[in-house]
Amino acid sequence: MPSRESEPGSRGFIVPIGGAEDKISDRAILRRFVDLCGGPAARIAVLPTASVLADTGSRYVDVFRSVGAGFVCVIPTFTREDAESEASLEQISDCNGVFLTGGNQLRLSTILGGTALAQRIRKLNAHGVHVAGTSAGAAFSSEHMIAFGDSGSTPRAGKVSLAPGLGLINRIIVDQHFRQRDRIGRLLTALSYNPFTIGCGLDEDTAAFIGPDDTIEVVGSGGITIVDVSALEYSSMAEAGEGEPVELIGVRLHVLAAGSRFSLSSRKATPAPRKAPV
């Protein structure tokens, strides 16, 4: 479960990003995250845990500095020992923003899961620190994480495997690179296991800025597919054999673009404000 807020509305933003976010031209998502963290007063910790590339952390340091962040550091957490160290805990506690890079979400869950650093990130977020993650970092942000699964549009039994995530929020299941990798089927499969959660399929260069009021605002050049199974009337998951298609009746779906909003509490979508004619 998410850490308890010190008072209602005190939680920081949670920002899952669908991967391949613009780092060169407009950089709308990363710029918005830096602005949330205070711009010149921003103190952002980058965790490159999910990646096996040596320069992943330093590349994000350069990008965040280029869009106005006052201070950016890399916390090298590549082992569970790193994630338990006092140095890592002290370093992250001095920041008002945390960024989890892309890579392999199972590296995040196996290295950070259950550690003092993971607990510290959850508590910091509950007390106002903003936490963003791209690609694997986005998948890891929620309580229920898609570990891996097959592409395709049809939900099928055994199509997806779930693992515990960081648990910043328990109302959604995130899937990334969504339309680019045809992942609607695996998100539907994940939701069919238990219709408590809401599916959030993030296109590349698209982010869900989830505020302390549990409202999502879409930022970026792509779309977010919201799959709401709260009114699910029937699921054949319990009877379906391995690899067989799963019937789901009563699914509600929204496709939202930049400026649109979705309330995780009321489960209502709001379109982006109309642009004035040129």
Give the model confidence (pLDDT) of 168-217 as tens digits. 999 999 999 999 999 999 999 999 988 889 999 999 999 999 999 999 99
Q: For residue 273, tell me if it sits in a domain.
A: no
**pLDDT interval class at 60 (50, 70, 90):** very high
Q: For residue 32, tell me if it sits in a domain.
A: yes
The tens digit of pLDDT for each residue in 31-49 reads 999 999 999 999 999 999 9
The tens digit of pLDDT for each residue in 110-168 reads 999 999 999 999 999 999 999 999 999 999 999 999 999 999 999 999 999 999 999 99
Provide the residue range defining the domain that includes 107.
Answer: 14-264
Q: For residue 125, tell me if it sits in a domain.
A: yes
How many domains, in total, are found in the chain? 1
Mean pLDDT of 17-43: 98
Q: For residue 271, tell me if it sits in a domain.
A: no
The residue among 104, 96, 184, 174 whose CA lies nearest residue 141 is 174
Which residues carry out catalysis? 135, 177, 204
Query: How much of the chain, in percent, has pLDDT values that exceed 90?
Result: 93
Report the b/e string of 57-80 with b at 16+ CB within 10 A: bebbbebbeebebbbbebbbbeeb
CATH number at residue 228: 3.40.50.880
The residue among 141, 143, 91 whose CA lies nearest residue 117 is 91
The residue among 278, 53, 81, 264 whose CA lies nearest residue 172 is 264
Q: For residue 278, tell me if it sits in a domain.
A: no
Mean pLDDT of 14-35: 98
Q: What's the pLDDT score for residue 9?
A: 82
Q: What's the pLDDT score for residue 167?
A: 97
Q: Are 78 and 108 in contact, with CB atoms under 8 Å apart?
A: no
